[in-house]
Amino acid sequence: MILTGRIPRLVHFNLFVDSVMVEFRNYSVVQSFCRRLVAALAAAGLVGCGQSDPPAFRLDMPKVVANGIAPQHQRAIANILGAMFGTPDNPFALPETGLDQRKLATAAGPVWSDAEGGKHGLYRRHCAHCHGISGDGLGPTAAILNPYPRDYRSGVFKFKSTYTAGQPTDDDLRRILHDGIPSTAMPSFALLPPDEIAALIEYVKYLSMRGQMETALVNYVFDEGFEPEVPLDPAADPELKDIIMNDLMAGVMEGWGAAGEQVILPEDSAIPPDDRTPEQIAESAAKGRELFYGATKGNCVKCHGPTGLGDGQQDDYDNWNKANVQFIDDTKSLVGEVQDLKQNLSNLAGEEREAAELELKQKSQELADRRKLIAHMLTPRNAIPRNLRDGSYRGGRRPLDIFWRVSAGIAGTPMPASGPASEGAQGTLTQEEIWQIVDYVHSLPFERVNQPQRRPVNVETVN
């Protein structure tokens, strides 16, 4: 459909250019030009300039292919998601999601402004060119950014106030939209009015829930081992509908509903007072430094490096890149399998050979599918630990932000949680110790460069 709208126009334009080039040698250039221009404009008008198909949500194809989901099940999953969440132009929030339909409508759809100056299509106006229509972080500008824009579909957010596994609160998302993410391509949207920010927050949550639901469905189809012939139609199968709405949906919604209760609260007794003298701060930072280099506790040095420049380990990946690396590695081993099958084929005869040929055909098809996906995949990049002397803090520079970062780690990345994993659990560091690390991290950008560093405490643990 998209192509049929464009081909006639292109063909016509080429004819038009060709004829103009020929006519140029004749004398009636102006007349001919005008005639052709009118014809071309009329053709463009008839075909229509804005008549391409409305944008649609895309399935996470690498995940679908990696789980061996059959094409008819892919369509079924897309249909189920469409019934639950609608389309990018007409998003729909089930009551279970707790999302505000009005906010979603403002954020979704094409970009336009109403007579009163109200802005519509906010997501496509501000976000979609990086984060993609489906919130998959695969917008047209994604590939030229470092770090890559976030893929919301896993429901994992890096900078938040909640425990590692928890979802972000609205305030967390609002803070990111207000301040942007320093030292990345995420700018501040502080100039947008609060109601537009609220609409965007709602839409990001919507895309995230939709993506999580997609993952749940893919995993369900994979785990249950549905045969390709078995239809996946909740309208005809009440039991399936019950599973989707109650088990899968509830699993996704649980985290979002409880986000507010998952906030890590700093204990009053552990919070350093505001009126500390520089000596007291330095003393606390010195203790934080011990933890930073501590082999058993803290051990920030492993990744952030003995200098704090982020020059520790360099070859780990965050979850998003790890999934792509895994996909590429699996494809490589599939190449080997296909080659082995081909070589063995000549040794086989009869039924064995037929079975092997069928397997070869299936695997070759999968390999072709995988190669097509890899061609459009973002090249995997390592998760490089933050340079702590740079003085830019992606998730915010307030001591509270750094406290949350150290305590909960950064979800989806190699940065581990040093605090408890949930309320009441035991973390590797106490809150007092985390605050000491916060003091040390805050002092790092201001250490004089020409001052020789003291010898790190456990330098031998780093290679």
Partner 1 sequence: MKHFWALVFLMVPVFGVLTFVVAPYFNHWFPKDISEHGRVIDQLFMFILWLTGIIFIATEGALFYFAWKYDARANPEPVKFSHGSHTLEVVWTILPAVTLLFIAIYQMNAWADAKMRKPNIPVTAEITGRQFNWDVRYPGHDGELHTPDDIVRVDGDIHFPSGEEVLLIIKSADVLHSFFLPNLRMKQDVVPGMEQYMWFKARETGRFDIVCAELCGWGHYKMKGRATFQPRREFNAWLDEKLTEQQTRTIAATAE
Binding region for partner 1 (CB under 8 A) = 126, 129, 141, 144, 161, 171, 178-180, 182-183, 185, 187-188, 190-191, 263, 265-266, 268, 271-272, 274, 391, 397-400, 403, 435, 442-443, 445-446
CA distance 373 to 389: 39
- Which CB sits closer to partner 1, 257 or 272? 272
Determine contact, residues 237/280, Cβ cutoff 8 Å: no
Cα torsion angle, 260, 147, 184, 421, sign: positive
CB of 284 to partner 1, least distance (A): 12
CB of 433 to partner 1, least distance (A): 15
- Which CB sits closer to partner 1, 76 or 128? 128
Kindly state the helix (H) or strand (E) to which residue 149 belongs, with its residue range: none
CB of 50 to partner 1, least distance (A): 21
CB of 141 to partner 1, least distance (A): 5
Which burial class, exposed, middle or buried, applies to 115 when counting CB atoms under 10 A from its CB (0-12, 13-18, 19+)? exposed
CA distance 167 to 219: 20
- Which CB sits closer to partner 1, 241 or 389? 389
CB of 414 to partner 1, least distance (A): 25
Report the chain's terminal Cα–Cα distance, integer Å.
57
- Which CB sits closer to partner 1, 90 or 188? 188
* Type of residue numbered 60: D
CB of 188 to partner 1, least distance (A): 4
Within a 10 A sphere around the Cβ of 311, how many other Cβ atoms? 15
Determine contact, residues 397/320, Cβ cutoff 8 Å: no
Establish how many alpha carbons lie within 13 A of residue 319's alpha carbon, considering only the half-sphere containing its beta carbon: 15
CB of 196 to partner 1, least distance (A): 14
For the record, the structure tokens of 30 come out as 């102006």
- Which CB sits closer to partner 1, 144 or 375? 144
- Which CB sits closer to partner 1, 348 or 400? 400
CB of 262 to partner 1, least distance (A): 13
Beta bridge mates, 263? 162
CB of 186 to partner 1, least distance (A): 8
- Which CB sits closer to partner 1, 95 or 273? 273
- Which CB sits closer to partner 1, 303 or 444? 444
SS3 content of the chain, % helix, strand, coil (to 5): 55, 0, 45
Nearest to 165 by CA among 178, 154, 156, 176: 156
For the record, the structure tokens of 449 come out as 């460069």
CA distance 65 to 313: 32
- Which CB sits closer to partner 1, 141 or 379? 141
Cis before 414 (ω within 30)? no
CB of 214 to partner 1, least distance (A): 28
- Which CB sits closer to partner 1, 131 or 210? 131
Residue ranges of the alpha helices (H) in 140-229? 170-179, 194-224
Determine contact, residues 23/33, Cβ cutoff 8 Å: yes
